[in-house]
Structure 1
Amino acid sequence: MSTTFDLEYDLQGELVGVGGDYGVAEGLTEHALRHVDLHPRGTYHVCCRRPLDVTAVLDRLARNGTDFSVDFFLPSAEVMIHAAASWLPKATTLFVNAAEHRLLEQVIDPRALPEVVITDGPRAAVVRRFGRQVASAVPPPHPAHEVSGAGDTLAGTYLAHRSQGATTAQALAEATAAAARYVAAPPLPIPAPRRG
């Protein structure tokens, strides 16, 4: 079974409760640890969100000396940032939005972090190394249709460009442009049409 969520709203339309059944994702931690053990010299991106046991995964990566980057999911970011704090200085890059960055600063000194990419919706994204800003890029203006997935698009594009030798500024410019294009794309119809 896949992951499912129950969202509970009050009569005014405000979200008052979220429940989740993680289904197949319950095996995520064991799967990730097996993969890391088989490929200890790989490069990994860890999405620190439930139900992943971030302490087990990040500890294994750090003990192996494996290159890894990290991002968070705002609804669980506070808990996950606290859980991950000991290993964050070993991450090559952290990806956070402005709200997650404020939570991060409450837990760890930004000067201990090798690289943090901070996004803020349509406002400038910045890269900080050991607390010092080294790059910024303003996303091109596009009307947003769907923002879910914009952070993943930005992180993936940034990491791909950096792995191909792009400078930090080039990678950030490409990443913000890709995320802006993503949010501007028309949403898929629900239910999506069947393919083939």
Structure 2
Amino acid sequence: MCDHPRATFHVCCRRPLDVAAVLGQLTQTTANFSVDFFLPSAEAMIRAAVPWLPAATTLFVNATEYRLLNQVVDCGTLPQVVVTDGPRAAVVRSFGRQVASAVPPPHAVHEVSGAGDTLAGTFLAHRSLGATTTQALAEATAAASRYVAAPSLPIPAPRRG
């Protein structure tokens, strides 16, 4: 792991990640880290991550993952949880209390794969630049909404030049 005093990490907890090794090491350092999950493996990964989740600065979950999370950990012990719900309002909870909410702007949906990554990356980037939680969530939901509205790239992508 990086020993830089301001190191920050984002971890996607999905199979085949060794959750104990990665989150255990991050928890032992002074680094800030955020965590998200991938729905097909979320139940197992959330259960495996429970001991380290209160040390994470931010967790990113969708509404289904939030219900799973709430079954295995007291969400009131978590510093920040960003909960998304597709086209419905995304909320940020800090130690169990809602502190921000943003409804994504309406767009026709072309592709949803990657929307969560877009939201998490945008939220974290804005927070790192000093935006408030409310501002960061608004920017993140708008970015994710634009992402899902963009036409999919052809695979393989066309060659340039």
- TM-score, length-scaled by structure 1: 0.80
Q: How many residues align?
A: 160
Counterparts of 1:160 and 1:90 in 2: how far apart (Å)?
20
- TM-score, length-scaled by structure 2: 0.96
Equivalent of 1:126, from 70, 91, 95?
91
The corresponding residue for 1:69 is 34
Paired residues for 1:1-196 under 5 Å: 36=1, 38-39=2-3, 41=5, 42-196=7-161
SS in 1 for 2:84: strand
- Per-residue deviation, residues 141-160 of structure 1 (Å, max 9, x unmatched): 00110000000000000000
Name whichever of 81-90 and 40-49 sits farther off. 40-49
Deviating above 3 A after TM superposition, structure 1's stretches of 4 or more consecutive aligned residues are 38-41
Q: What 5-or-longer segments of structure 1 have no aligned partner?
A: 1-35
Q: What 5-or-longer segments of structure 2 have no aligned partner?
A: none
Q: What amino acid sits opposite 2:139 in the alignment?
A: E
Q: What amino acid sits opposite 1:74 in the alignment?
A: L
% identity of equivalent residues: 76
Larger Rg: 1
Which protein, 1 or 2, shows the higher relative CO under an 8 Å CA cutoff with sep ≥ 6?
Answer: 2
Task: Kindly report the root-mean-square deviation, in angstroms, between the aligned alpha carbons of the 2 structures.
Answer: 1.0
